[in-house]
Amino acid sequence: MTEANFTYRADSFKVAIDCILLGFDQRELKILLIHRNFEPAKGSWSLMGGFLNRDESLNDSAKRILYQLTGLEDIYLEQIFVFGDINRDPVERVLSVCFYALIKIEDYDEALGKSHDAHWFPVQKRPKLVFDHEQMVEATLNRLRRRAGYQPIGFELLPEKFTMMQLLNLYEAIYQRSFDVGNFSKKILSLGILVKTDEKLRGGSKKGSYLYSFDQERYDSVKEKGFRIIG
């Protein structure tokens, strides 16, 4: 009886990391895109990406790529999907692991961005993207909307202190719909995860608007019970 031989030679292919970087300018949700000065698809718009190094994890690779583009560390980062269509890359077989990150635009290093020919676009008015990058963005927006409904990840896009209207504008930008101001404020405050400060943001109103901050300790103490921010 012949012993079966399960030894085989595996095909080799590259693993790419593509990063979707989202920010908020107090009005619109924005995405940072690269104007490609290299082939393939030179002159097109794409996500920031690179190849996985042999000696690093997927997360470490994404952090490295994002740091090279933004100069930022310790930012919210989440893996979305692996995109592996056989013909997704016109040059060779490449699997892409897609991540998204949330940053405060004011912390972003513009000089680094310019060196990569990176530009911010409103998410809803972004240019056409190369390969399957459009699918990656749509998958990310769907994930963000699900997460933002029951986790406070939206606060990653706001300054440390913010007004209730700034928070409302953010959630309207994420969900692309309007919320009743009174109901939204009542719902958010009922969760007990915001701290009202004595400070005010002076703007169009003489009275100004009170500033709030996110209470991480309070959130940690109640999150196990489960609650929804939206819905």
The hierarchical CATH code for the domain 14-149 is: 3.90.79.10
DSSP assigned state of 60: H
Residues 6+ apart with CB under 8 A from 41: 90, 130, 131
The CA distances from residue 205 to 69, 159, 177, 208, 209, in Å, are: 38, 20, 25, 5, 8
* Domain boundaries, given as residue ranges, for the chain: 14-149, 158-225
**pLDDT number for residue 11:** 79
Please give the pLDDT value at position 165. 94
CATH of 158-225, one of 3.50.50.60, 3.20.20.140, 1.10.10.10, 1.10.630.10: 1.10.10.10
Give yes or no for a contact between 80 and 17, defined as CB atoms under 8 angstroms apart. no
Closest by alpha carbon to 88, among 78, 101, 98, 100?
98
Q: Is 124 in contact with 109 (CB distance < 8 Å)?
A: no
- Low-confidence residues of the chain, pLDDT below 70? 1-9, 203-206, 231
3-state secondary structure of 10: coil
| pLDDT of amino acid 225 | 74
User: Can you tell me which residue has the tokens 């993207």?
Assistant: 129
**SS3 assignment, position 176:** coil
